[in-house]
Every structure is written in C-alpha cells, then in structure tokens.
Structure 1
Amino acid sequence: MQPFTGTGVALVTPFKKDFSVDTEALARIVNHVIAGGVEYLVVLGTTGEPATLTDDEKELVIATVKKANNGRLPLVLGVGGNNTADVVDELKTRDLSPFAAILSVSPYYNKPTQEGIYRHFSAVAEASPVPVILYNVPARTGSNMLPSTIQRLANDHTNIIGVKEAAGDMVQAMKIIQHKPKDFLVISGDDMIALPMVLAGGAGVISVIGEGFPKEFSEMIRLGLQRKTDEAYALHYKIADSIDLIFEQGNPGGIKQIHQAMGLSENTVRLPLVEVNADLAGRIDRFVRALGY
C-alpha cells in the first residue's frame, strides 16, 4: 500500500506518576503498534496532549519516537494552531527531515470563515517542506471545514495530499470522497465509522483505538480496502464497544487506561484532563482481558 493508506495511530504521550514524560513507556507503545501491523505513526497529534507539553518535552517525544521506530514506519508530525503566522514560522524553522508529512488541524477557537480556513491552509502549504494532511475536527475546533473548501485546497496545492476527516458525518465524508482529486486521501478521524468510510472510498484511518488493539484494527482496515466486507465487519463488531469506552470520558484518558491494563504505561494525564474514573477503568480493564490481552 501507498504511504498513509491503511492505519495510522495517533500516539499518546505517556507520563509517569510525577507527570514527567515516560520515554521508556513511549518506546514500548511504539513497538506495540508496529508489531500489531499499523502502517504509520502520528506524533504530537491531539491524543499526544501537545497543548500541555513544553517545547523541550515535544523535542523529547519526537526523539524518543524516532529512535524507537528506527526507520520502520513513516512518521507524521502534528503541526497546527490558530495563529497562522506561528504555524508558518514553525514549519520554516523546525527540522522536518524525519517526517513524511505533517498533520495540521483547522484553526480552533477563532472560528474563521471558509475563506479564512482556505487562506490559513494555503499559507501552511506554501511554507511546508513536506506534504500536508488537513485535519477537520469540528467538535474540537468550533468550525467545520466544508467539502468545498477541502476540494478547493486539494486542487490548488499539490502538497496538500489528504484530509483527516473527523466530523463524524458520513454524508459529508462521502461528498469529500465523491469530489476529491484522484490521488487525494480521505482518512477517517473517527474510529467507529472508519470502516464505512473505507468502503465508501476512503484511504484508511488515523486511529486512537488502533493504538490499543493494533492487530485487530489494522487488519479490519486492510480487509475493508480489499473489499472483504464480512470479514472486516466481524473485526469491527469484535472491538466496537471498546471505541465507545475509550471516548466516554474523553481522549486520551480512555486509551491510556487500555495501555495501563496491558502493562505498557501508566494512565496518567495532565490537567485540565483527568484519568478515567474507577467504574470506567474497571469496564475497560474487563474488555482488555476478554479480548485476550
């Protein structure tokens, strides 16, 4: 498969009980998802809690993932924000040589118009020395990047190669797929509808649950890409309940509880996020055991 077709995982940043970055746990998680068969890794996406990391900690995370990966899979770096000038400056000054692409979220909080979103990503595309994957997640940003804006960006900028579409709207996803340029990648940002999006013509997923159960989830996506629908849906329904569980009290608290149940890391998150409560932790732990981990 081509790069960014299949399953990418949005890596967490594991913390020790004292809230420092746990580099040993991060290396274990990288090896866990690679052994599970995923196709690429996303570093410092939303799941990695970058909003609470210092610049030095971000560099530590990048170095740790790069060393643990050791060139095995393509790496994607999260580079986004709601100050266009700052994003452009980071793209011009950061060493992006270890990365095959960046993932850039639509500007949040400011609630720009579609023209503002278009101009923001045009500036990002012009500044980026590596390909750009757009990220549309209205529940977090407060504004929806419409299919027409995505199509316009894809047609106007050759280094905008895809979109992580996380509006949770299959109709919108199908409109993007219907009108996209031939080689443009429509990547699901919602684990629960990743398989339907693939079957509709999507390229795969950037997943959270795939970081917990990479073998099952990445195989499901591959089967979907091969149009082996019954086999793919059998895997989907095997793990579907866990998707609801990990997002019940917010991300990445749920997936970090899975990692703790598997002995990969602590379930520590940084404020303003908090760990899942005891009831949800128990239900997640039971699901992990029932799946054979």
Structure 2
Amino acid sequence: MHLSKYADVKKRLRGSIAPIVTPFNEDGSVDFETLASLIHWHIESGSHAISVTGTTGEPSSLTAEERVKVMEAAAKAVNGRVPYVPGTGSTNHEETLYLTKKAEEIGADAALVIVPYYNKPSQHALYKHFKKVAESVSIPIIIYNIPGRTATNLHVDTLARLNNDCPNIIGVKESNKDFEHVNRVLLKCGRDFLLYSGIELLCFPMLAIGGAGHISATANIVPKQVAEIYDAWNEGDVKRAQDLHFELMELNDVLFKDTNPAPLKAALGMMGKIKPVLRLPMDLPTQELQNEIREVLKKYVELEDIISAN
C-alpha cells in the first residue's frame, strides 16, 4: 500500500466509528444474525464506520477463532458501504499478529490494536510490539490507548516514535481522560494524525482541537445522534454539536455506572435490539441499575421501542 493510499484512507476514516457489541444467544453462542442486523441499523442511522471486537465487543470473552468469525461476519454485513475497522489487539503478541493479519485478509480498511492489557509492558516493549504488528501487514493501524483498562499508558513520545517509524500507523483512539495528553498527541504526531476520542464526554472537545472523530460506546444506543456530533461540527454548526454533547451527557453517565458493555447490553435488550447476554466473568448490571438505565432510556428512545426488562 502506497502512502497516497494511506492518505485516501485517512480522509475516509473520520466521524463516528461505531464499536458494535458482540450479541450472544441465550446459550452464550455468538448471534451472527443479530450482529448483521445491528450493523445494518448503524449504517442506516449514519454511523461513518464500523468496528467490532474492540473493548465494547467483549474480545477477552471470545476465542481467537470466534473473533475471526465475528470479524468475517461483520465484513460481510458492512459490504464496503462504510469503512470497516475491527479490533485485533490482545495481551498476547502472537495472537495480535494473527488477528491483524486476518483483518487484512478479509479486506478491513484498518485495524484497531489495543495496548496490551494486564502484563504492563514498558514503553520500549510497547514500541517493539506495535512496530512488529505494523510491519506484519500493509493495512493502516490505529492504536487504542485505554489506560483505565490496560493499566499502561502509551506515552506521547512512544506514539510519536511509532508514527515516525511506521508509515501505516495512522492514528490513535485515546480513551484517556488526560486532555493535556491528547493535545500533545497532535502536537508531537502532526495535525494530520487521526485522533479519536474513546471517552464519551471528550468526543466534542477533541473535535475542537482537530480530532478525526470518535469511537463511542454510546453509539450503540443512539447512533444517529453520536454521528451527528461530528456532522454538525464538520458542517460548521458548532452550536448543534455543543447541544448534542450536553443532550447525551445523562445517557453517557448512566451507561458507564458499571463496566462497559454491561449497561449497553442491558439497554439494547430493553430496546429489543439484542438478547441481553454477556459471558462470565462479565454480567448484567444489578436490577437497581437496570431500572435506572430504563428510566434514562425513555428520554432518548421511543417508549414503545423499549421492552420491559426481565
């Protein structure tokens, strides 16, 4: 892939990249039919790109083979209508290489690769890990930095070094509440580096400093509104983008009162979009929180669309 092609991909990979949940059947098997249905709904609702098997997709609850099957099914459902960016990262280096190569084989536009979790690698080790992943494929790589769940923060200098040494590392999803950090990403990596917010309350602020968009779990519930934040900003309607930012705040808050994607799956179950099933060690929120989620949902979703929780 030539640099000119990277430039084309970078132009297309902007806006709301919806990180789709992995729906399960009651027996815990992957519900591929519902996955396809969710993807069609997202594209019809204006999501600018689709991602699966990221944090919201419960990748650590899936085997590597299941992750490949989900990636393949999603690619088929997307069918080239919007860019497709599956999550391929793992705490295991060889598995990350395997999944990222599979993403390339199925025609993904880019791969979203998380900072390895649990093992807390050094910055030097992170550099070697991501460099080898990037060199193993020709598709673009978007690094996923989420220190709250990985226990490791990818430093800006490490990211800048990777950006300089690996032409196909084109962006980063920052689920980082340190707004000074995300500002310095664009300062050190260049203003054309793709910066995405993975923090719901920073989706709008990151656009203001030159972000490329957001990868927001809340898009699973209200894909149209989350995409419209970017569309309004891109069209110069700053007030509309600000209004949406604040309108979604109550929903954003309740969806993160338990570990993602548990509240999301409860909400999607109430909306009749999926069976509200997670694999242990993840589980649905307490009944008390589910009741709260239901009350908040009524402000965003038509009441007749909400199915009473069990």
TM-score, with normalisation over the residues of structure 1? 0.94
Q: Residue 76 of structure 1 aligns with which residue? A: 85
Cα root mean square deviation, aligned: 1.8
Q: How much has 1:142 moved relative to structure 2?
A: 0.9
Q: How much has 1:89 moved relative to structure 2?
A: 4.1
Q: Residue 229 of structure 1 aligns with which residue? A: 238
Q: How much has 1:94 moved relative to structure 2?
A: 6.1
Distance in 1 of aligned mates of 2:100 and 2:36: 26
Q: Residue 207 of structure 1 aligns with which residue? A: 216
Structure 2 residue 27 is the aligned partner of structure 1 residue 12: no
Q: Residue 305 of structure 2 aligns with which residue? A: none
Amino acid at match of 1:99: A
Q: How much has 1:292 moved relative to structure 2?
A: 3.6
Distance in 1 of aligned mates of 2:131 and 2:97: 10
Map Cα deviations across residues 237-276 of structure 1 (whole Å, 9 max, x no partner): 1111111111111111111122112211111111001101
Amino acid at match of 1:154: N
Distance in 1 of aligned mates of 2:301 and 2:29: 30
- The 5-angstrom pairing of residues 38-117 of structure 1 reads 38-92=47-101, 96-117=105-126
Map Cα deviations across residues 9-55 of structure 1 (whole Å, 9 max, x no partner): 11111112221211222122112211110111112111111211134
Secondary structure in structure 1 of the residue aligned to 2:255: helix
Structure 2 residue 228 is the aligned partner of structure 1 residue 252: no
Q: How much has 1:92 moved relative to structure 2?
A: 4.4
Amino acid at match of 1:239: L
Distance in 1 of aligned mates of 2:95 and 2:77: 29
Consecutive unaligned residues of structure 1, counting only runs of 5 or more, are none
Count of residue pairs the alignment pairs up: 293
Structure 2 residue 173 is the aligned partner of structure 1 residue 164: yes
Q: Which has the higher contact order (CA 8 A, sep 6+)?
A: 1
Amino acid at match of 2:112: L
CA contact 1:154–1:181 (8 Å) conserved in 2: no
Consecutive unaligned residues of structure 2, counting only runs of 5 or more, are 1-9, 303-310
CA contact 1:166–1:190 (8 Å) conserved in 2: yes
Q: How much has 1:86 moved relative to structure 2?
A: 3.5
Q: Residue 155 of structure 1 aligns with which residue? A: 164
Q: How much has 1:123 moved relative to structure 2?
A: 0.8
Structure 1 window deviating more from structure 2 (3-12 vs 66-75): it is 66-75
Match of 1:119 among 107, 120, 128: 128
